Structure 1
C-alpha cells in the first residue's frame, strides 16, 4: 500500500469540497491517505515521507497562490521529491485573466523538486457541482493508477 498525503488550501470551501471528493476517489480504489488543511501548519519537508502527494489550492486574484499556501510553497524550494508521484487540483474563477494559475505554479514547483507530476492538473470553476465532484473522485482514482506504476 502506498503512503499518500493530500494537503489543501481553501478559503470559501470550494477547494475543500474538491479535496474531499479526491480523497473519496483514492479510498474507493483501496488506498488510504492523510488529508491536511494547510491552515493546520504542515511543513513541506513532510512530503518527503510519502510516495504520493496531492496538493490543492485555489487561485487568488489575477493568478497568484493563496496567502495561506505561500510559506509551504517557499519551503518546497529546499526539499527533494525525486521518486515521488504528485498531482495538483484547485478551484478557479474564469473572471480573472489567468485561469487556475495556482495549479500550474504548484505543478511546476513539484517538477523542479524532482517529483513525477500527473500531467493534467484538475481545475474546477468555483463551487464543484455534482459533475465536477465526480470528476474529482475520478481524478483521485486516476492518481492512484498513476502512483501504482511506482510501487513494485
Structure 2
C-alpha cells in the first residue's frame, strides 16, 4: 500500500520549510508518497485527498499561529477528518514562554476535526541541527509506519 501524505507549512525564515522537506525525505525513504505545499499554495479541501496530513508552522508572538495560517485554520472547520492520520510540527524558539504553541494549536485542531494524532508534535528549536535533521527524518518515517500499520 502506498501511503499518500500532504505536508502543509508556513515558514518565515526557512526553518519550518527545511523541517517540512526533511520530514518529506523520511516519508519517501519509507515508501510513502508526499506532497509538500506552502500554506499560501493550498486549499483547505486538499486535506481530504490524502491518507496522512502533517501541518507545520513556526510559532508567532506569545505562542500563536502566524498570520498567513489564520484563514486556512478557520476554513478547516468545514472539514471532517475522521479516518485521517495526522501530526503537527514546527520551528520554535525555546526562549519564549509558550514553546512551540503553534504546533499544539494545529494538533488540537486536527484532533477536533476527527483526525487521529499519531505522533506527539515535533518542535525543533530554530533551525534543525544535525540531531534535529535526524529527528525530522525519523518523524516522517514514523508517520508513514503509523499510517500503514494503524
Fold match by TM threshold 0.5: yes
Question: In the comparison of the two structures, how many residue pairs are matched?
Answer: 149
Q: Which residue in 2 is equivalent to 1:95? A: 95
Q: Helix, strand or coil: the match of 1:75?
A: helix
Alignment of 1:24-103 (within 5 A): 24-40=25-41, 42-103=42-103
Q: What CA distance in whole angstroms lies between the structure 1 residues aligned with 2:77 and 2:16?
A: 23
TM-score w.r.t. length of structure 2? 0.96
Q: Is contact 1:57-1:65 (8 Å) kept?
A: yes
Give the whole-Å Cα distance in 1 for the aligned partners of 2:84 and 2:68: 24
TM-score normalised to structure 1 length = 0.95
Superposition deviation, residue 39 in structure 1: 2.3
Write out per-residue CA displacement over residues 87-124 of structure 1, whole angstroms, 9 at most, x where no aligned residue: 11000011211000100000000001000012411001
**Structure 2: where are the runs of 5+ without partners?**
none
CA distance in 1, matches of 2:16, 2:147: 22
Equivalent residues of 2:119, 2:143 under 8 A apart:
no
Q: How well do the aligned residues superpose, as a CA RMSD in angstroms?
A: 0.9
**What is the DSSP-based 3-state SS (H/G/I as helix, E as strand, rest coil) of the residue aligned with 2:6?**
strand
Query: Secondary structure of the equivalent of 1:34?
Result: strand
Q: Is the 8 A contact 1:59 1:91 kept in 2?
A: yes
